[in-house]
């Protein structure tokens, strides 16, 4: 009789443990025996638009600034971006691109005309950051450049001359002008896009009309090794992809796709830091839609391009929240929490898993705008949780994707459920890297891995997590979210076993 309560207590303790650890259901097979496509390093690209304080104040402060700088570029930002191995930067927009006339941004700075940024806050810009500054900045951080041409309010001649100015080594009026402006040798710029969101801010076009415009522009875009990018679909506009691929697919190297994670709706998007578990759940659930979008757009591209010559380029993605209280609504300035780290980890895993078709992605945006990797305020700098995920995931750049099979627990909130674990894997220089997200904010996940085709001898790891779902890094405060060592993975009888902490992004590396 006396034993009975004790057994009940043990059973209760067992149940409590079970309640905090998603046991038994999580099994992952990483197929090192079936290497897949190369994960193009451009998947880890960034987007920098003339918007708010992304360019002015974020990247560029000018040579006379009191903020330490290298030829006008913030030294702290340059160092942080170099450490991230940023492979690619897209510029000058975004919606801004279709209002930008590049000749306004070359020559002596004192003679450059000002412009009004009509899309973003109506502010006047002095054009001190133009083509030379952008390309110098890319060289400084070791990134490739991706230039978005102006189709909405520009001309074919303007576009063709820009390409010539930047890339040509011939004797010509444009190369003469470039040399007069201090740059003897051409830059090696491979990626050029024909307009941005041409279904919206870039001209409100129909796909049939834009397909013809694209063919027209594309015919005059000449440079060695040029990679031509067509303005692609908004979210699930599959008709756009179909028409573009049918009418212009053979003249393009890449077709873009834009998808933002908006927790609520476009009128009231939700706060970046003041949110509960319901908003956490819906944000991650909406992020997982990227898998469906990439799969369905790829399937349409397969019909017209079965050899996968044309890349699907997700050149704008990220979380879009309400702006921080008291900031200019046109500047799209938002904080960045552990939730954003999960959003970044999930999206990047999806892109890695589709590396056969997805050849580029650009998080929106690099600094001080939407889901940024860096925030700046005057002299201060903050590295966001998203920054640390990019730092963790850089091991995948130019690695070979490994197919993953995953059987996992569900994370249930209210009446809805999503997979608790999200994962991708790659191999480079004999090291297998597996990146995992535990979407569940309450339960850790026990996982057992098989890695056929790989001899396990050593395991190590890194983690991004925090004790609150809305933990974030702020100016003048100790970091709440950063990158730490993770020692929770072990080799046991030829398998890897680990427990992923709740609400975490984890890298496991095998040698
Ligand atoms: O990233 C902000 C804006 O979002 C871009 O300018 C535009 O392309 C998109 O609608």
Looking at residue 410, its pLDDT comes to 96
Ligand 1 atom at shortest distance from the alpha carbon of 196 = 8
Taking a C-beta distance cutoff of 8 angstroms, is the pair 434, 30 a contact? yes
Q: Could you tell me the end-to-end alpha-carbon distance of the chain, in angstroms, rounded to an integer?
A: 54
From the candidates 125, 161, 197, 242, give the one annotated as an active-site residue: 197
Decide whether any atom of ligand 1 lies within 6 Å of the 93 Cβ.
yes
User: How confident is the model over 224-261, as pLDDT tens digits?
Assistant: 999 999 999 999 999 999 999 999 999 999 999 999 99
What's the CA gap between 462 and 484, in Å, rounded? 6
Looking at residue 322, its pLDDT comes to 98
- Which residue has the least CA distance to atom 7 on ligand 1? 94
Q: Pick the residue with more confidence: 13 or 369?
A: 369
Answer yes or no: is pLDDT of 9 > 50. Answer: no
**Ramachandran quadrant class, 363 (left: phi over 0; alpha: psi -120 to 50; beta: rest):** beta
Q: Residue 95 Cα, ligand 1 centroid: separation in angstroms?
A: 6
pTM to 2 decimals? 0.94
Mean pLDDT of the chain: 95
Looking at residue 21, its pLDDT comes to 52
Q: Residue 54 Cα, ligand 1 centroid: separation in angstroms?
A: 13
Decide whether any atom of ligand 1 lies within 6 Å of the 315 Cβ.
no
What number of other Cβ atoms are within 10 A of residue 48's Cβ?
28
User: How confident is the model over 372-393, as pLDDT tens digits?
Assistant: 999 999 999 999 999 999 999 9
Candidate of 46, 58, 93 to mutate for ligand 1, largest count of ligand atoms within 8 Å of Cβ: 93
- Which residue has the least CA distance to atom 9 on ligand 1? 94
User: How confident is the model over 318-344, as pLDDT tens digits?
Assistant: 999 999 999 999 999 999 999 999 999
What's the CA gap between 248 and 258, in Å, rounded? 19
Decide whether any atom of ligand 1 lies within 6 Å of the 94 Cβ.
yes
Taking a C-beta distance cutoff of 8 angstroms, is the pair 145, 189 a contact? yes
What's the CA gap between 71 and 139, in Å, rounded? 12
Answer yes or no: is pLDDT of 19 > 90. Answer: no
41-396 and 22-35+402-510 share a CATH fold: no
User: How confident is the model over 436-458, as pLDDT tens digits?
Assistant: 999 999 999 999 999 999 998 99
Spatial CB neighbours of 430, under 8 Å, sequence gap ≥ 6: 511
User: How confident is the model over 350-369, as pLDDT tens digits?
Assistant: 999 999 999 999 999 999 99
324 classed as catalytic: no
Burial string for 120-134 (b: 16+ CB within 10 Å, else e) reads beebebebbbbbbbb
Decide whether any atom of ligand 1 lies within 6 Å of the 196 Cβ.
yes
Looking at residue 16, its pLDDT comes to 41
Ligand 1 atom at shortest distance from the alpha carbon of 364 = 1
Four-point Cα dihedral 423, 427, 432, 434, nearest 10: -10
User: How confident is the model over 251-305, as pLDDT tens digits?
Assistant: 999 999 999 999 999 999 999 999 999 999 999 999 999 999 999 999 999 999 9
Q: Residue 93 Cα, ligand 1 centroid: separation in angstroms?
A: 7
User: How confident is the model over 396-437, as pLDDT tens digits?
Assistant: 999 999 999 999 999 999 999 999 999 999 999 999 999 999
The CATH homologous superfamily for domain 41-396 is: Glycosidases (3.20.20.80)
The CATH homologous superfamily for domain 22-35+402-510 is: Golgi alpha-mannosidase II (2.60.40.1180)
Taking a C-beta distance cutoff of 8 angstroms, is the pair 204, 221 a contact? no
**Ramachandran quadrant class, 266 (left: phi over 0; alpha: psi -120 to 50; beta: rest):** alpha
Answer yes or no: is pLDDT of 22 > 70. Answer: no
Looking at residue 24, its pLDDT comes to 54
Q: Is 164 strand, coil or helix? A: helix
Answer yes or no: is pLDDT of 311 > 50. Answer: yes
- Which residue has the least CA distance to atom 1 on ligand 1? 364
Structure tokens at 175: 């190369």
Looking at residue 10, its pLDDT comes to 41
User: How confident is the model over 469-478, as pLDDT tens digits?
Assistant: 999 999 999 9
Q: Where are the domains of the chain?
A: 22-35+402-510, 41-396
């Amino acid at each position: 009789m006396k034993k009975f309560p004790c057994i009940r207590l043990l059973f209760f303790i067992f149940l409590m443990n079970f309640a905090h650890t998603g046991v038994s259901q999580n099994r992952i097979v990483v197929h090192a025996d079936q290497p897949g496509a190369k994960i193009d390093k451009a998947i880890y690209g960034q987007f920098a638009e003339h918007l708010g304080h992304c360019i002015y104040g974020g990247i560029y402060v000018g040579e006379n600034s009191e903020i330490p700088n290298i030829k006008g570029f913030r030294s702290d930002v340059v160092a942080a971006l170099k450490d991230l191995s940023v492979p690619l930067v897209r510029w000058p927009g975004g919606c801004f691109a279709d209002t930008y006339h590049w000749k306004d941004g070359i020559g002596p700075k004192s003679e450059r005309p000002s412009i009004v940024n009509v899309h973003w806050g109506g502010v006047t810009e002095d054009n001190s950051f133009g083509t030379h500054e952008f390309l110098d900045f890319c060289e400084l951080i070791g990134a490739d450049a991706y230039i978005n041409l102006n189709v909405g309010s520009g001309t074919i001649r303007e576009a063709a001359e820009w390409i010539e100015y930047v890339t040509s080594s011939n004797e010509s009026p444009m190369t003469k002008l470039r040399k007069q402006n201090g740059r003897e040798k051409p830059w090696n710029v491979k990626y050029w896009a024909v307009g941005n969101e041409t279904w919206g801010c870039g001209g409100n076009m129909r796909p049939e009309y834009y397909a013809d415009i694209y063919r027209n522009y594309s015919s005059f875009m000449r440079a060695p090794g040029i990679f031509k990018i067509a303005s692609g679909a908004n979210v699930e506009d599959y008709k756009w992809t179909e028409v573009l691929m049918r009418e212009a697919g053979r003249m393009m190297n890449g077709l873009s796709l834009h998808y933002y994670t908006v927790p609520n709706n476009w009128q009231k998007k939700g706060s970046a830091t003041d949110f509960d578990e319901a908003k956490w759940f819906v944000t991650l659930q909406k992020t997982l839609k990227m898998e469906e979008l990439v799969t369905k757009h790829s399937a349409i591209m397969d019909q017209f391009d079965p050899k996968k010559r044309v890349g699907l380029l997700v050149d704008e993605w990220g979380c879009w929240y309400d702006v921080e209280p008291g900031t200019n609504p046109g500047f799209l300035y938002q904080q960045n929490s552990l939730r954003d780290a999960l959003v970044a980890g999930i999206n990047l895993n999806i892109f890695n898993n589709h590396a056969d078709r997805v050849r580029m992605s650009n998080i929106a945006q690099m600094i001080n705008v939407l889901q940024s990797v860096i925030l700046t305020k005057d002299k201060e700098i903050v590295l966001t949780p998203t920054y640390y995920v990019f730092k963790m995931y850089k091991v995948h750049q130019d690695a070979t994707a490994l197919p993953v099979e995953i059987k996992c627990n569900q994370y249930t909130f209210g009446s809805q459920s999503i997979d608790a674990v999200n994962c991708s894997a790659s191999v480079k220089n004999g090291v297998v890297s597996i990146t995992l997200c535990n979407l569940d904010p309450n339960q850790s996940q026990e996982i057992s891995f098989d890695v056929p085709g790989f001899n396990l001898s050593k395991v190590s790891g890194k983690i991004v997590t925090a004790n609150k779902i809305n933990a974030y890094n702020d100016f003048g405060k100790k970091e709440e979210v950063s990158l730490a060592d993770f020692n929770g993975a072990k080799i046991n009888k030829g398998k890897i076993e680990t427990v992923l902490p709740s609400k975490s992004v984890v890298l496991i590396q095998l040698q």
